[in-house]
Structure 1
Amino acid sequence: MSTATARYAGNLRTEATHTASGTTILTDAPTDNHGRGEAFSPTDLVSAALGSCMMTIMGIVAERQGLDLTGVTYDVTKHMAAEPRRIRQIDVHFRLPATLSEKERTILENAARTCPVALSLNPEIEQDVQFFYEN
């Protein structure tokens, strides 16, 4: 079975449907590349996937350690290169509880950096991953 099916909806927009759940994602070309920017662009999805994958893997590890990461937030910023047009860098900045011990921090940070998306991206894409511990 396929992971997703998709169709071109016209006007530089696609509609992808997750086969197992039926969830739909729209994409739109960004405003700096002939689009309307009314939905995630495909490169936005790649960047968001990196942050989501890192958070998911940290969540799996946290559950094993008896930690609750509910409410942890992160920001993802994509930087494009012009020639050829491609993702040059993805910044992922996590905000986690200051109450985590040094050992817990190390375990979670390593988990994030070794998520499947991080390991699958072209090594030419710089991944600037930072962790901020706040109350």
Structure 2
Amino acid sequence: MSATIKSRYLGKLRVESTHLQSGNRLITDAPTDNRGKGEAFSPTDLLATSLGSCIMTIMGITATDNGIDIEGTEIEITKIMASEPRRVAEVVIEFFFPDKKYTDEQKQIIEKVAGTSPVPLSVSAKLKQTIRFHW
């Protein structure tokens, strides 16, 4: 089995990670409330982003399979931290669908798969996942 990602510590609480298949790179910084610069996504920001992106991806697959057009859907993600231990306590994910006159059946098909993708199923059960749909 070969690695998927290679990361390197750059100092000053900054890490550069490379997706080995594509060569795409990203930088993470510690957040300002944890001695960081806050100039890039923090690792916990990426966790919240992964959760929202993974849910949107499974919705996209389901939409495609059912002939539903959800292109243009936007996501707002709110990460809520807890202390002792410092961790992500809740992620609130709000989906804003474009005005495409979705039927109740189409909405139900999309909403039903929201918690069934790999990231939501992989994180701790202690992480509260709040998902809201705005049609």
Q: TM-score range by the shorter chain?
A: over 0.9
Match status 1:50 vs 2:51:
yes
**2:104 matched residue in structure 1:** 102
Q: CA RMSD in A?
A: 0.9
Secondary structure of 2:110 counterpart: helix
* Residue type at the aligned position of 2:85: P
Aligned to 1:10: 11
Residues 95 and 133 of structure 2 are in contact (CA less than 8 Å); yes or no, is this contact kept in structure 1?
A: yes
Length-normalised TM-score, structure 1: 0.95
Moved more, 111-120 or 19-28: 111-120
Q: Distance in 2 between matches of 1:125 and 1:60?
A: 25
Count, aligned residues = 133
Specify every segment of 5 or more residues in structure 2 that has no aligned partner in the other structure, as ranges.
none
Spell out, residue by residue over 1:68-116, the C-alpha distance to the aligned partner (whole angstroms, 9 max, x if none): 2111001000000011000000000001145111111111112122111
Question: What is the letter of the counterpart of residue 49 of structure 1?
Answer: S
Partner of 2:133: 131
Residue 114 of structure 2, aligned match among 92, 102, 112: 112
Q: Residues 32-111 of structure 1: matches in 2 within 5 Å?
A: 32-98=33-99, 99-111=101-113
Give the Cα–Cα distance (whole angstroms) in 1 for the partners of residues 17 and 7 of structure 2: 4
Sequence identity of aligned pairs in percent?
Answer: 47
| SS in structure 2 at match of 1:22 | coil
Distance in 2 (CA, whole Å) between partners of 1:68 and 1:107 is 12
Q: Partners in 1 of 2:41 and 2:111 — Cα distance?
A: 27
Distance 1:112 1:21 in 2: 27
Q: Secondary structure at the match of 1:123?
A: coil
CA contact (8 A) 2:4 2:20 kept: yes
Q: Deviation per CA, 1:40-76: give whole Å up to 9, x if none.
A: 0000000000000001110001001111211100100
| Mapped partners of 2:122, 2:105: distance in 1 | 27
**TM-score of the pair, normalised by structure 2:** 0.95
- Runs (5+) with no aligned partner, structure 1: none
